[in-house]
Amino acid sequence: MQVAVTCKHGTISPDIQDYLRSKSEKLLNFFERVTAINVTVSFNDSRCKVEILVDAEHKHDFVAHDEGDNVTPTFDSALHKMEQQIRKYKEKVQDHRGDVTIRGAAPAE
């Protein structure tokens, strides 16, 4: 899995880049089929915008972004949004049918 951190119209320190990479890699705990993660930090005047793109197998792509004053809290907020999207998707795809009658078998009499 690849984690790419890019920055537009400014720079971020290597420590913050490592923080963004390590936190992004934790998305694998929620969804194992992640193939690539792109984190983009854009600076406009005194504000920053963080966008997280997650590519998963079978054409499932997730996008989350947030805007704020500092990079790390803004990234944490966007990451939280991404976790919610992935959890919701994973819950939707999982098969929760436990009733035998749903699977086509007739109930025992």
> Exposed, middle or buried: residue 55 (CB in 10 Å: 0-12, 13-18, 19+)?
middle
* Whole-number Å distance between alpha carbons of 61 and 54: 6
Q: Report mean pLDDT in 10-residue bins for the chain, 109 residues.
A: 89 92 88 88 92 85 93 94 89 69 57
- Show the domains of the chain with their CATH numbers: 2-94 (3.30.160.100)
Cβ–Cβ contacts within 10 Å for residue 29, how many?
9
DSSP assignment of 51-67 = EEEEEETTTEEEEEEEE
| The pLDDT value given to residue 16 | 92
pTM: 0.79
